[in-house]
Every structure is written in C-alpha cells, then in structure tokens.
Amino acid sequence: MQYNFPKGLYVDVRIEHLFSTRIRYTLKTLDECKERQYSAAFIRAYDGIRWYYASTSDLTSVQAEIDGLAKLAANNVGLEDMPVFKNFSDKKDKKLVFTGHEVSNVPLQEKVSLLESLMPLVEKNAYIKIWMLNYLDEYKVKEFYNSKGAELTWDFQRAGLSTGFQMAEGERQMRESYQIGKTRFNELKDFEEGITKLIKECEEFLLESEAVEPGIYPVLMSHVPTGVFVHECFGHKSESDFMIGDEATRKEWALGKKVGPEDLTIVESGLVEGNGYVIYDDEGNAATTTYLIKNGILTGRLHSAASAADLGEDVTGNARAMDFEHEPLVRMTTTYIENGAKTLDQLISETENGIYVKGVIHGSGMSTFTLAPSLAYYIKDGKIGKPVRISVISGNVFEALENIDGIANDLTMGSFVTGGCGKMAQFPLSVGFGGPHIRVKNMQVQ
C-alpha cells in the first residue's frame, strides 16, 4: 500500500482485517451466534508536540484522513532529530504464522457443536442453577505503514470456550468458570475431564466451606491466581507510560533495585504463543522478551516508542491497542513467573497455618492490589484443610514481592478466554499469564 506522507510529521497507518465468532448459551437458550468481518484503519500523526488520531472503516479514505490530520498538525523540520522519532519502526516484513489454520475456515456449525458438547457436563448437576457457555474466536491480519518506510504484515489468532456456572443450596451460593484458550481451533479438545473435576470440587466447596477468619496469613497460590497476581500486582507497574514526567515514581521503581527474593524472576514476552502472542506491536516494533525482575532485582520495564524515549531506554514492542478505534498504549503481552526449585508438596508441608487459593474470580491493582478468590482452602499443620470462603486478598505491591518465600517448579501458562486486560477503557485486550505455585507470607485476607 502506498500513501503520500506529509513532510515534517511522523505518520503511521494501522490496518486491521478481522474475522471473529461469538456463540453464547444461557441454559439451553442460544443468546448469540454470529460471525463478524471488517477491515478498518487507525491513523496517527505526530508533530513533536502532540498526537492527532483518526479511524475509519472505509479504507479508500485513509489518504484523506492523513491529509486531514496534516492540516491540524504543525510542520516540524527538526522532528527526525528527536529521540522518539528514532524509536519508530522502519522495518519491512511479512509474517502470517496461522496460514492454513485460520478459524475463519472452520464451519460455524462445527463451533456450535463443540460448545453444545459441554451442555451435558453442566446441566446434570443438581446444584447448578444457572450456567452459561461461550465460544469465541478471532483471526486478525494487520498491515502497518509509516512515514519512515515501514511496511509490515502479520497475523494474530485465538480460539476458546468457557463455561460459567452458579451453584446454590439454601442460602449458600458460589460461582466458578472453566476456560480453555488456544491459538488454533483443533487444539480445543480433552476438556471434559477438567470440567467434570471442577464441578465436583465446586459442589463439595458449596456444601462444606466456611467463612474465613479475617487476618494475616501466608497465602499459597496455584497457577491461575499466580498469573493474575503477577499481572495485577506487578505487571501494570512495569508499563512505563505512567512514569512519563513523574520523577518520584521513577525513583521508586529504579532499575537495579532489589524488590524480591533471589529466586524470583518475572518475564514479559510477546513471543510466547497464546493470547499474548503479538509478533509486532501496534507501532510496528517487534515483540521482545523482557526480564522485569531477575533474581529479585528490578531489571526492565515495558515501553512504547514515546516512553522509551522519555526514559532513555530501548523499545520493547509493548505498544498495543484493543482495536482500530483505539490508540496504542503500553500494555502487557504474556507475563509470568519463572520456575523455582521447590515442589508443591514442599510448599504445603512447610505451611503451618495458611490459605491455599486455587481459583480466582478477578483481580486489580497498581501500587496496591486485590484478588477475589473462588476456590480456597485452609492449610493446617502442613496439609490442605477445609474449604474456606474469602471475599478478598489484598496487599502492597512491594511488600508482596518481598514476601514471596516459596516458588514451585511447576510453571503453567493460562489465559482468560472471555475476558482480558482493561486499561484506560480499552477492554478486553487479549493477554497471557502464568506461573508456578508461589507462597506469599503476611497477606491480608478478608
């Protein structure tokens, strides 16, 4: 694609060709079953002072949008000497890794049948009063062009299904979900046993759980809570756009600072295949692997072209937008804690009086964080004990990182198929997360 870019400005064009499917049942009622396709573009212009944006679903109007933004901006003959300009991509590349596996080629009825195969697993349980089934997929091809000569084409794909349900017995209630997310439709299989085990565990939890005695506990987290913890507790603090112009925060999060135990390493990578696999970010910079914490030391953070220029660091390929209607922000891709040396049995046996969080409903955080558990259990005298109902677990980011005192060797990656990350109203952005079992001492449990 050839565009006439005005001189004295930086301009880029991000074109998205999207195919997506959404299927949703509530009980046996089909609420939604649709396929969607569009091609659209997001256009940016930068004059060294401010950004100008436009978006359109008419690809024939892209040049007119460029010309319109150029009239609003000021010509800047010194723009090419600015550090941020040097961070903008000039790459030429084409990577279509999902060719031959596009979800757009899978018949809609095959997707409906896959989702309907879950129905017997949830409807036969007497305690499940409401259940929902969701299937979604997305295949997106992106094109990127800018005034530095960049010409890129790459693709992104995900497919997944989930079941969410609410159980009740008298005044007792609980809700939980099972989700499986992959990058190819034919990988969505072998989930029946996992769903069946989860429903059985939830039934026992519903009937036997007791309210937690509020207090400070060591908390052992399984893979998904660990992933949500590292995303919410630390990942957002690594998104460096919030540091621009904030000297106090830069000092607080200075690279080289010890922030955790020596066996703690947190990685952020767009190269892990899954919901956070991006190839290139939405500024045309290649995805990278960044060690945010290595051996307990703060060693890196996530950048766009602008934040990297402001902090004098390298771009990391983390400028991401939810879709063509949004500008790129510094966002995570796949964030996870690396394996430690202990086993899960060791972590449990070392804990005299603690909490084991096996599932989580949601989390949020920046300087402080909260996790809302679903399935949780007491740990008594080094053994998993009674199921326990917890409203929220909360803490301070730095204190929580420093209080990690056990990391297992059973790293597992995960994703939320029906959700994602929300930042500045760009929700849901697809991300990946994961980790081994970890134990954090002295967490507030309510």
Collapsing DSSP states into helix, strand and coil, what is residue 241? Answer: helix
> Of the candidates 325, 360, 348, 22, which has an alpha carbon nearest to the alpha carbon of residue 175?
360
d(CA 192, CA 249) in angstroms, rounded, equals: 47
Token pair, residue 144, equals 């990127």
Collapsing DSSP states into helix, strand and coil, what is residue 80? Answer: helix
User: What's the CATH superfamily of 10-208?
Assistant: PmbA/TldD superfamily (3.30.2290.10)
Within 8 A by CB and 6+ apart from 351, the residues are 218, 220, 379, 382, 439
Give the pLDDT confidence score for residue 235 in this predicted structure: 87
Decide: 286 and 333 in contact? Cβ < 8 Å. no
Neighbours of 383 (CB within 10 A): 11
d(CA 149, CA 268) in angstroms, rounded, equals: 28
What does 273-302 look like in DSSP terms, one character per residue?
Answer: SSTT--SB-TTSPBP-EEEEEETTEE---B
Give the pLDDT confidence score for residue 423 in this predicted structure: 86
Neighbours of 75 (CB within 10 A): 12
Give the pLDDT confidence score for residue 427 in this predicted structure: 85
Query: What phi and psi, each to the nearest 5 degrees, are found at residue 250?
Result: -60, -40
Give the pLDDT confidence score for residue 365 in this predicted structure: 66
Give the pLDDT confidence score for residue 247 in this predicted structure: 83
Token pair, residue 322, equals 């939810």
**Nearest 10 degrees: Cα torsion 184, 185, 186, 191:** 110
Give the pLDDT confidence score for residue 366 in this predicted structure: 65
Segment-wise mean pLDDT, segments of 10 residues, the chain, 446 residues: 94 98 97 98 97 98 98 95 97 97 98 96 95 97 98 97 96 93 94 94 97 97 92 86 84 90 97 94 98 96 96 96 96 96 97 96 76 95 97 89 96 84 86 96 94
Numbered ranges of CATH 3.30.2290.10 in the chain: 10-208
Token pair, residue 40, equals 């659209």
Identity of the amino acid at 252: E
Whole-model pTM? 0.94
